[in-house]
């Protein structure tokens, strides 16, 4: 419920959503750890202060004078719990929370939670589409912030939940939940892999049904909960040339999404939707018609027999490994464009997929040299000053039947505002080659 006193920490989209919702409803304070240190944040601080006049905007060093044991602190996802501002909050006995927890407390409707290292957004959209006839809508870590969804009066909600959100909230009460997969990621935020797994696993603690990937032990719920183990039962599984949804066999040739990881996501989405009332016919129809989302294995064009694929959303090594394996035709036919901010992750797992599936790698961005160190002597690689130059270099190396794949294995913040901007630039560069 809405607390008597609240502090919002962070001025991004989530922070503003919290501020907008709580403004005028409670005694409200707002801050950001970067105020006074970054001009853009300081300017935004001043703009929001004029916009939300019932809130008091304070400097980070004032937090200790404003919060107490009756204060709930709504923290933006990107600020790690080990940030010093939370030491202050804890010393004042304030409770740390996030917008998702407040949303879950306020709605009286079925809730489905989706988390995992890769595939969260695609799976969330799949589940919502499978339950569209029942009035479900999606949000959370994607699209609209959760509190903004209250304006839409959905009959049910599918929430994408990040580890950043799950670590800051009491385990959500969900009708169904999944951890799709867990691989090393966000090592700049979570101090250990164990900490990262523990944050993801919180999604199961109060869920009525857990759907998990039997082949990934990190996704299995540790608590006693009714479960559907995908690939652990003949009713819900992925085979070489088909998927099985509630015992209904669907050939993979009938699916528009390609790659084993996407096929696994379809089955998990179907299981979640089925638990919440979707008919099998709806599950199968959506599975066959769903085309995917921008920047996720998105075919931009085919030029002179070469396909150009935008997988800019691949911001970690596991996502890039999956992309290489799904696009390879059994030969080394991929020109991989990779690089950016590794977020502290290792590239060791890329060595074999690049060796087996890539004829060359074109590397750019802050951690390009670290990726190069993971490429063995049998694979050609070159460095590029920009993404546009990387596309040009890939075109020069490509032959008919090859794939030029942007799958960076890194975050984009060293060169771009976000992965969408990176993917958009790739798409525009490719399209310009057609004219």
Q: How far apart are CA 192 and CA 243, in angstroms?
A: 35
Q: Which of 118, 120, 200, 333 is catalytic?
A: 120
Angle formed at CA 368 by CA 163 and CA 415, multiple of 5 degrees = 65
Q: Which of 186, 274, 313, 359 is catalytic?
A: 186
DSSP 233: B
Q: How far apart are CA 220 and CA 215, in angstroms?
A: 9
Reported as type and span, the H/E element at residue 423 is: helix 419-434
**Active site includes 356?**
no
Q: Which of 141, 265, 316, 333 is catalytic?
A: 141
DSSP 171: P
**Active site includes 120?**
yes
**Active site includes 399?**
no
CB atoms within 10 A of CB 378: 8
Angle formed at CA 134 by CA 130 and CA 137, multiple of 5 degrees = 70
- Copy the structure tokens of residue 35: 């105020």
CB neighbour burial string for 96-121, b if at least 16 within 10 angstroms, e if fewer: bbbbbbbbbeebeebbbbbbbbbbbb
Q: How far apart are CA 342 and CA 318, in angstroms?
A: 12
Catalytic residues: 120, 141, 186
């Amino acid at each position: 419920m809405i607390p008597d006193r609240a502090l919002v920490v962070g001025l991004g989209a989530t922070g503003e959503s919290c501020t907008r919702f709580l403004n005028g409803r409670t005694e409200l304070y707002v801050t950001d750890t970067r105020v006074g240190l970054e001009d853009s944040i300081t300017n935004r601080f001043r703009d929001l202060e004029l916009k939300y006049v019932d809130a008091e905007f304070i400097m980070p060093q004032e937090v200790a004078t404003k919060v107490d044991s009756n204060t709930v602190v709504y923290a933006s996802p990107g600020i790690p719990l080990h940030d010093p501002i939370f030491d202050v909050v804890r010393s004042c006995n304030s409770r740390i929370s996030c917008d998702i927890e407040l949303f879950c407390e306020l709605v009286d409707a079925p809730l489905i939670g989706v988390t995992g290292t890769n595939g969260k957004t695609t799976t969330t959209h799949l589940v919502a589409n499978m339950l569209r006839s029942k009035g479900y809508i999606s949000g959370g870590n994607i699209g609209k912030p959760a509190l903004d969804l209250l304006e839409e009066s959905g009959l049910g909600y599918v929430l994408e939940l990040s580890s950043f959100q799950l670590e800051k909230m009491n385990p959500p009460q969900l009708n169904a939940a999944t951890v799709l997969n867990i691989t090393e990621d966000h090592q700049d935020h979570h101090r250990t892999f164990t900490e990262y797994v523990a944050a993801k696993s919180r999604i199961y603690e109060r869920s009525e049904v857990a759907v998990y990937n039997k082949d990934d032990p990190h996704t299995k719920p540790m608590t006693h909960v009714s479960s559907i183990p995908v690939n652990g039962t003949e009713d819900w599984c992925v085979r070489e040339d088909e998927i099985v949804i509630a015992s209904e066999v669907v050939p993979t040739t009938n699916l528009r999404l390609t790659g084993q990881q996407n096929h696994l996501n379809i089955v998990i989405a179907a299981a979640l939707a089925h638990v919440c009332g979707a008919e099998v016919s709806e599950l199968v129809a959506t599975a066959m018609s769903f085309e995917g989302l921008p920047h996720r294995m998105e075919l931009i064009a085919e030029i002179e027999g070469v396909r150009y694929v935008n997988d800019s959303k691949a911001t970690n090594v596991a996502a890039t490994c999956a992309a290489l394996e799904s696009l390879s035709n059994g030969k080394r036919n991929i020109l991989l464009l990779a690089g950016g901010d590794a977020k502290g992750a290792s590239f060791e797992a890329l060595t074999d997929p690049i060796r087996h599936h890539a004829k060359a790698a074109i590397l750019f961005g802050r951690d390009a040299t670290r990726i190069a160190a993971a490429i063995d002597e049998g694979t050609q690689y070159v460095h590029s000053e920009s993404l546009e130059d990387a596309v040009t270099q890939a075109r020069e190396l490509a032959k008919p039947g090859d794939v030029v794949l942007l799958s960076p294995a890194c975050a984009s913040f060293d060169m771009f505002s976000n992965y969408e901007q990176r993917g958009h630039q790739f798409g525009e560069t490719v399209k310009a080659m057609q004219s």
